[in-house]
Amino acid sequence: MPIRYEFERELNKMHQQLLKMGTLIEQSIDDTIRAMKNQDIDLAQEVIQRDDEIDQMELAMETECIMLITRQQPIASDLRLITSVLKIVTDLERIADHCADISEYVIRLFNESYKKPLEHIPMMAQQVKKMVKDTIDSYVERDICKARRVIKDDDIIDQYFEDIIKEIQDLMKVEGTFITQGTYLIFITKYLERMADHATNICEWIEYTITGKLKHE
């Protein structure tokens, strides 16, 4: 079998694995949002368990990328693509980690009702979900414009973060029994902000894959 054909076949397999990983992460984000809004600890536990599967996928893809470089003779553009995939799967795995982190706090909050109805945090989470979906789509479509829109959308998440943190802190000042719950909600908000950062990182690597230029260059 010609070397180039074999390389293309393995590269396509790697793309399919990355898409499967992305689909699982989108499901985890959906489930995390529903678990948080409905205080569904069973669903939260599913998210935590799914994180183990995603961890294994990351490890398998990292191994495959390294083996692909070792077995084949990638040209510069191929090497750039494989390097980007390595970075992308790392950021995807971190997003899954944060879904699990949020789910842990959902479980901790199970026995108490929310002192304030959750409104802006789920809205922020939906925006993060959109960013992650657009990130996966931009990778599949090699759409640099979509990737750049995701990077720009991070500003929306940053504004959500500032507004929500201020809202929680203001309530903590006047409601002493809200301190612990408020702290947990701050952690959840921070994890959402980090998820958006990871989506932004991925889109910067997608841009690098297409243009050959890193953002700081």
Q: Summarize pLDDT for 15-67 with one digit per residue, the tens.
A: 899 999 999 999 999 999 999 999 999 999 999 999 999 999 999 999 988 88
Confirm whether 155 is domain-assigned.
yes
pLDDT at 112 over 60: yes
Percent of the chain at pLDDT exceeding 70: 95
Q: Minimal CA–CA distance to 18: which of 81, 109, 79, 77?
A: 81
The HSE-up count of residue 115 (CA atoms within 13 Å, CB side) is 18
Burial of residue 137 (number of CB atoms within 10 Å: 0-12, 13-18, 19+): middle
Domains held by the chain: number: 1
Contact between residue 204 and residue 151 where contact means Cβ atoms under 8 Å apart:
yes
Residue 124 belongs to domain spanning: 3-211
- How does the average pLDDT of the chain come out, rounded? 90
Q: Is residue 130 part of a domain?
A: yes
0.85 cut: is pTM over it? Answer: yes
pLDDT, tens only, 157-180: 999 999 999 999 999 999 988 999
Tell me, what's the pLDDT at 67? 85
**Angle (nearest 5°) at CA 124 between 92 and 142:** 40
Please count the residues of the chain. Answer: 217
Q: In Å, what is the CA distance from 30 to each residue of 68, 91, 130, 203, 207?
A: 33, 18, 10, 21, 26
pLDDT at 216 > cutoff 70 = no
What is the Cα 80 distance to its own chain's centre?
22
Give the residue-averaged pLDDT of 120-146.
93
pLDDT beyond 60 at 1: no
In a domain, 216, yes or no: no
Residue 217 placed within a domain: no
- Residue 168 domain flag: yes
